[in-house]
Structure 1
Amino acid sequence: MSDEQPTELEPGGTNAVGKMLGLLGDEWTLLLIQQALQGVTRYGQFKAALPISNAVLTARLNLLTEQGLLERNVYQSNPLRAEYLTTPRSRSLWPFMIAIWEWERRWVPAHELPQMVHTVCEREFHPVLSCSSCDKPAAAREIGVEWGPSGSWERSVPAASTRRRWDSEQVSGAAGMFPDTMTILGNRWASALMGAAFRGVTRFTDFEKALGAPPTLVADRIRAFVAIDVLVAMQNDKRPDWVEYRLTEKGRAFFPVVATALAWSQHWFRSPEGPALIETHQQCGAPFEPQFRCDQCNVVVHRRDIRIVPL
């Protein structure tokens, strides 16, 4: 498969959103991509950088190679030596990665992550999500979203066969770099529930209907989201007997992660029927394409212009 070309998905099957969640809803995958984007290429280097077992590392490298996010290059035949190089597909994930980095750094006080410097202005900065058409900041409430031709809740949830079994290392949190992000993305029902919350779903029965999930699973995911302060339980103003689950400030701040993941997925995975989601920036009326601008100099941020400051 050429990593220059989008992957053509099966008609009527899992759409771009579901495919993305099946790939990126895995902490080891995210950490390996992060290391690769920082220049790590060899098996031993990945092993030294992460608390990961040989079996898990081999499985994830094979998966990333199969899906076109890494390219395996054999540079020595006797003994066999190979390196794993980034591709356009993985390099274009950098907005998604810095969105996670920024959200975890700002909203998860249990651990510290280094600050980022924008080398254009040489200042520590926060990336500001904006519309590439009008260059204005873009909040979740300003983005109109509707299902596209391949869009539905059923097709947007990763198929069980595309998900890896949660190994003991992951469950125990051995990596631990993105704990709250994995609470949201690392479970097929959780990620779908977060998408439903951004689309305005608030009531338990509506979450259950939208996701097509058993009530026990919906309740479990809602409890997890409340526990990390992404959702909050509130009484309905007009119906005090109704409990609603609304996004908190922390939950709404996760939108740049969602926006960049959706943009990446719909570029690299194409359903023959058309896109899964159609997004419009209501401020300018143009199709929404996310970009990041520096909050210090207001210049568009590029991957090459970011430097991580060690703690």
Structure 2
Amino acid sequence: MALPRTYEDQNCSIARALEVVGDRWTLLVIRSAFEGVRRFDDFQEALGVARNVLTDRLTRLCDEGLLRRVRYQDRPERYEYRLTRKGVELWPAMMTLLLWGDRHYAPDGPPTLVRHAGCGGALTPRMTCSSCGAALEPTDVEACPGPGAVEPID
């Protein structure tokens, strides 16, 4: 039996949030947006997702107010997608999921390390720096390859 796509019968904020972000491609689009990806073709290249699926996810994220479309070219008309405040508020949840995945599903070590750009300390589950204790926001960190990173094929 297939699970329904919506949870209107459940009075639960987790279920309601899952209606928006509970799909694999949606979370990967958001991850890419945090990594600085903004244009459709760049999302498609980074994710390897079918164009129709990507169009659907970007439209949904814009409709839900997590991304906004900003025109960057008139002829032909082209847009980029930028995180809104609502989208940026997903950062702690995304980082918690990343750290959880590192603990349980990264046998060769984390593929990506999230470091405090100010001092190089690691991101902790409390969204603070392991070295200096600073509270960290998305603009305070940088990602670098970790021990589990896959080497690019030349």
Q: TM-score range by the shorter chain?
A: 0.7 to 0.9
Tell me the residue number matched to 1:67. 64
User: Could you tell me whether the CA contact under 8 Å between 1:101 and 1:113 is conserved in 2?
Assistant: no
Change (3 A) 1:15 1:128: closer
Let me know the Cα RMSD of the aligned residues.
Answer: 2.0
Look up the SS of the partner of 1:52 in the other structure: coil
* Structure 1 residue runs without a partner (length 5+): 1-11, 130-291
Among candidates 109, 112, 115, match of residue 113 of structure 2: 115
Larger RCO: Structure 1 or Structure 2 (Cα < 8 Å, ≥ 6 residues apart)?
A: 1
Does structure 1 residue 293 correspond to structure 2 residue 124? no
Q: Distance in 1 between matches of 2:48 and 2:107?
A: 19
Tell me the residue number matched to 2:3. none
Among candidates 51, 56, 67, match of residue 53 of structure 2: 56
**Alpha-carbon deviation of 1:37?**
1.6
The structure that has the greater radius of gyration is 1
Number of residue pairs the alignment of both structures matches: 137
**Alpha-carbon deviation of 1:100?**
1.0
Among candidates 63, 78, 81, match of residue 84 of structure 1: 81
Matched to 1:298, the amino acid is G
Once the two structures are superposed, residues 102-144 of structure 1 have per-residue CA deviations (whole angstroms, 9 ceiling, x without a partner) of 1111211357421121123223x14132xxxxxxxxxxxxxxx
**Alpha-carbon deviation of 1:13?**
7.4
**Alpha-carbon deviation of 1:59?**
0.6
User: Could you tell me whether the CA contact under 8 Å between 2:96 and 2:125 is conserved in 1?
Assistant: no
TM-score (norm 1): 0.41
User: Could you tell me whether the CA contact under 8 Å between 1:128 and 1:294 is conserved in 2?
Assistant: no
Tell me the residue number matched to 1:175. none
Once the two structures are superposed, residues 15-68 of structure 1 have per-residue CA deviations (whole angstroms, 9 ceiling, x without a partner) of 533221111211111110111122211110101101200111011011001000
TM-score (norm 2): 0.79
Among candidates 40, 47, 66, match of residue 44 of structure 2: 47
Look up the SS of the partner of 2:115 in the other structure: strand
Q: Distance in 1 between matches of 2:130 and 2:125?
A: 6
Tell me the residue number matched to 2:32. 35
Change (3 A) 1:297 1:46: same
Tell me the residue number matched to 2:152. none
Matched to 2:90, the amino acid is L
Look up the SS of the partner of 2:112 in the other structure: coil
User: Could you tell me whether the CA contact under 8 Å between 2:99 and 2:125 is conserved in 1?
Assistant: no
Q: Distance in 1 between matches of 2:119 and 2:70?
A: 37
**Alpha-carbon deviation of 1:101?**
1.0
Tell me the residue number matched to 2:138. 303
* Structure 2 residue runs without a partner (length 5+): 1-8, 150-154
Matched to 2:141, the amino acid is I
